[in-house]
Amino acid sequence: MHTAVVKPSPAGKLLWAAIAIVGAWCLGVVALRRGEPINAIWLVAAAIAVFVIGYRFYGKFINESVLRMDPSRATPAVLRNDGLDYVPTDKWVVFGHHFAAIAGAGPLVGPVLAAQMGYLPGTLWILFGVVFAGAVQDFMILGLSVRRDGRSLGNMLRDELGPVAGVVAMFGVLVLMMIVLAVLALVVVKALTHSPWGTFTVAATIPIALLMGIYLRWLRPGKILEVSIIGLALLLLSIWAGKYVADSAVWSAAFNFDAKALAWLLIAYGFCASVLPVWLLLAPRDYLSTFLKIGTIMLLALAIFLAAPTLQMPAVTKFIDGTGPVFQGNLFPFLFITIACGAVSGWHSIIASGTTPKLLASEGEARMVGYGGMLMEAFVAIMALVAASSLHPGVYFAMNSPSALIGTTAQDAATAISQWGFVVTPDELLNTAKNIGESSILSRAGGAPTLAVGMAQLLHGIIPGEGMMAFWYHYAILFEALFILTTVDAGTRVGRFMIQEIAGLVSKPLQHTESWTGNLLATAICVGLWGYFLYQGAVDPLGGINTLWPLFGIANQMLAAVALMLATVVTVKLKRERYVWVPGIPACWLVVCTLTAGFEKLTGPISFSAAAQKYAQAAADGKLLAPAKTAEEMQRIITNNYVDAALTGIFIVLILTMLGFAIRAIVRAWGINHPTAHEEPYVALANVSTH
Amino acid sequence: MKANLQAIRKWAVQTARLCCGIPDYDVYVKHLREHHPDRPVPSYKEFFRERQIARYKGTGGRCC
């Protein structure tokens, strides 16, 4: 059934023409003006125009022609209304919930790393990636799930591609999750290394959360907003107190850790936090980080609009040739791997087939929630890119380059970075560190610190004052760390359930989530898996992020490719072959990107095996290469690189297997002359009593 | 105007709670009364505790 197509009025046509012209003009300024710095507002305006046009035209086209969402059809929320999981909910509430679930630290990290190639490549990939791939994936998976009782991605893959495909994909999700947790934890490690102020404030979140948990459990049950305000006040207090901790010789020594120690602390924390009852630590911190996240995103938007910073990073740097210090590899495919969340993120397919499809009151609202929600996340990514690009490029490279390339003193770093063509003095680097209340800004890769400095400068431009920069910097670090710790905790739990399910195939009793043996064992395995990669990152010669972020990107884009393959298969199975390119082209693009990046990481100059061989050669010659100080450490770096290479190999096999299943399903469905997709039967909304 | 503000407030509270995995309590009570009059209606405290635990049992409610 089709909804009646309303012809646009002349005024409407005029408005859209005006938006298109303004958008094209802004994009032209962003893309073509060379030699003189441009204002960030051009970039923001271009992004808004592209998103609005993409939503109005491409989103609508997918809605009406490809998915054929039908407002007259009853949704799972209406059919299976249980007042708890399945509830027909106001579309704005669903939108807010969906956005809060998809927006995380990812869109804030990737664009910051990608800024090493200049702001233009990242901007273009975010803008066009989201319209033609990311939002398409989120929207289509949401649409498919709504037509299938709100079933999960794994279940839909099993139904449409076969049982083995479902198992393979779920294995991929587990591996992806371990990498996600390791990389995110590493971002925290990088931000807190030798930073007593930051470490104190992040550590303070633990007692604050415990206090909130007890308050919420016994004193004022269920008063989330109230307890979150108290928690926020205590957090701000801890940022203020952090300055005194950093200034005191005794206390600053107590909170001063190197990367290895922090990695062990996080591993221990992850284990303890995920076996405690959820109400005590996880839930209260989850509330706090959810509200803080939304608040901070709004603060960032406000800061960018009010401060209207000039982009100091060139549009395109020489590092598009693959010689960049932040991550290795050419623009193709590594830009498309580095910026995952924000342009297209496979993880969203799990959320779009999780709670959201069970809340939609009408199929007509899926476009706004699915397509619109992802556009919002892309906007967050654009803002992160603006914050990073508005920094002095010298400061940006000092913060994001590994010490193997820029040394460990401000003098060495300034010399090295100036030689790359980004002239910076040691004083500028030292001053930046002093302004934000830290001893050093060098080699703090991982996005969070760079974004924090960018945000601190923007906010300081609006609200000046002595010491405010340091406050804003530590606020931004705290916000990201709080959010990441919540993800680590919740992710470890989910990983534990997945591992227990797999263990249950071997020994039934291990499957009981109430059994302490099974519980502790599965938690230990889960923490051990991500902890291995975290520790590896902490001792990595290139600083960790440089090595692990591509692995994360490949895994995340691999999942996106799988989700888009599912959408492609279903489009063919519904006999809508003429639209197969809508999910098909982005699926192919992501397969090409992940496979190319995978092969380059497997063999060749920037591969894990090349790094392993370099260290093996040195070890054979009896030499030590930094940062290894002993023969054992040399050996460990070699092993780590071979593990990473093996993991890359697994990803390649995984994606090829899924591609095989998808092609088989497409070929079969193409030959059959009637629809074969596993949709639930049509029930008219009018026939369901909705009281 | 006042009605508008109240509607916005209700939306904000409902969204904020749902972001934390707590669905609307009034809607649930209404649902129970209409469809399952035989079942006991939990207090908000009981409802809150049950939902709090249920949120972290699924397969990942958040993104990276």
DSSP codes, A196-214: HHHHHHHHHHHHHHHHHHH
Residues of chain B in Cβ contact (below 8 Å) with chain A: 11, 13-20, 22-24, 27-28, 30-32, 34, 44-45, 47-49, 51-64
Contact A326, A547 (CB under 8 A): no
Residue carrying the six token digits 């008063």: A223
Asked if residue A231 has pLDDT above 70, the reply is yes
Helix A448-462 with A393-400: angle, nearest 10 deg: 150
Task: For residues A439-465, give the mean pLDDT.
Answer: 89
- Write the residue in B11, B16, B63 that is nearest to A225 by C-beta: B16
CA distance A381 to chain B (A): 13
Measured CA to CA, the distance from residue A212 to residue B14 in angstroms comes to 21
Give the amino acid at A574. L
Tell me: the pLDDT tens digits for A593-615? 999 999 999 999 999 999 999 99
Res. A518 pLDDT band, cuts 50 70 90: confident
Query: In a 10 Å sphere around its CB, with 0-12 CB exposed, 13-18 middle and 19+ buried, how is residue A577 labelled?
Result: middle
DSSP one-letter string for A215-276: IIIIISTT-HHHHHHHHHHHHHHHHHHHHHHHHSHHHHHHT---HHHHHHHHHHHHHHHHHS
Three-state SS annotation for B3-17? HHHHHHHHHHHHHHH
Contact A429, A441 (CB under 8 A): yes
Asked if residue A151 has pLDDT above 80, the reply is yes
- In a 3-state reduction of DSSP, which class is residue A73? strand
Query: In a 10 Å sphere around its CB, with 0-12 CB exposed, 13-18 middle and 19+ buried, how is residue A681 labelled?
Result: exposed
Res. B41 pLDDT band, cuts 50 70 90: very high
Measured CA to CA, the distance from residue A450 to residue A187 in angstroms comes to 11
Which chain A residues are Cβ-neighbours of B14 within 8 angstroms? Answer: 89-90, 93
Compute, in degrees rounded to 10, the torsion defined by CA atoms A535, A541, A547, A549: 70
Tell me: the pLDDT tens digits for A405-433? 999 999 999 999 999 999 999 999 999 99
pLDDT of residue B60: 46
Three-state SS annotation for A464-511? CCCCHHHHHHHHHHHHHHHHHHHHHHHHHHHHHHHHHHHHHHHCHHHH
Task: For residues A135-145, give the mean pLDDT.
Answer: 97
Phi, psi of A661 (to 5 degrees): -60, -40
Nearest CA in chain B to A486: B62
Cα dist from A438 to A196, A199, A413, A429, A544, whole Å: 9, 12, 17, 11, 21
| Domain residue ranges in chain A | 10-194+257-671
B19–A101: do the CB atoms touch at under 8 Å?
yes
Task: For residues A675-688, give the mean pLDDT.
Answer: 92
The predicted complex's ipTM stands at 0.89
- To the question of pTM greater than 0.80 for the whole model, the response is yes
Question: A171 is written with which tokens?
Answer: 């294995």
Which chain B residues are Cβ-neighbours of A221 within 8 angstroms? Answer: 44-45, 48-49
CA nearest to A662, candidates A597, A573, A579, A582 = A573
Judged by average pLDDT, the poorest of A137-151, A200-214, A578-592, A677-691 is: A677-691
Which chain B residues are Cβ-neighbours of A282 within 8 angstroms? Answer: 56
Three-state SS annotation for A530-576? HHHHHHHHHCCCCCCHHHHHHHHHHHHHHHHHHHHHHHHHHHHHCCC
Identify the top-confidence range among A384-388, A467-471, A632-636. Answer: A384-388
| Average pLDDT taken over every residue of chain A | 92
pLDDT of residue A1: 42
Peptide bond into A207 cis (omega under 30): no
Measured CA to CA, the distance from residue A484 to residue A463 in angstroms comes to 27
Asked if residue A387 has pLDDT above 80, the reply is yes
Number of other residues whose CB lies within 10 A of the CB of residue A615: 23
- CA–CA–CA angle A73, A76, A80 (5° rounding): 120
Measured CA to CA, the distance from residue A589 to residue A595 in angstroms comes to 10
Asked if residue A571 has pLDDT above 90, the reply is yes
**Is the torsion defined by CA of A425, A428, A434, A439 positive or negative?**
negative
- In a 3-state reduction of DSSP, which class is residue A396? helix
Measured CA to CA, the distance from residue A170 to residue A498 in angstroms comes to 9
Which chain B residues are Cβ-neighbours of A92 within 8 angstroms? Answer: 11, 15
Can you give the length of chain B in residues?
64
- Count of helices and strands (H, E) across chain A: 30, 0
CA distance B41 to chain A (A): 12
Helix (H) or strand (E) holding A95: helix A91-102
A3 or A101, higher pLDDT = A101
Please name the residues between 455 and 514 in chain A that touch chain B, using a CB distance below 8 Å. Answer: 486-487, 490-491, 493-494, 497-498, 513
B56 or A90, higher pLDDT = A90
Measured CA to CA, the distance from residue A244 to residue A685 in angstroms comes to 62
Question: A89 is written with which tokens?
Answer: 């909910």
pLDDT of residue A6: 63
Peptide bond into A333 cis (omega under 30): yes
CA distance A257 to chain B (A): 25
Res. A274 pLDDT band, cuts 50 70 90: confident
Contacts with A246 (C-beta within 8 Å, 6 or more apart), sequence order: A196, A197, A200, A252, A437
B61–A351: do the CB atoms touch at under 8 Å?
yes
Nearest CA in chain B to A183: B64
Measured CA to CA, the distance from residue A295 to residue A192 in angstroms comes to 23
A389-428 in b/e form (b: 16+ CB < 10 A) is bbbbbbbbbbbbbbbbbbbeebeebbebbeebebebebeb
Judged by average pLDDT, the poorest of A550-554, A655-659, B9-13 is: B9-13
* pLDDT over 70, % of chain A: 98
- Write the residue in A278, A359, A691 that is nearest to B34 by C-beta: A691
pLDDT of residue A506: 77
CA distance A502 to chain B (A): 14
Give the amino acid at A36. E
**Is the torsion defined by CA of A688, A691, B1, B6 positive or negative?**
negative
Compute, in degrees rounded to 10, the torsion defined by CA atoms A684, A686, A691, B3: 110
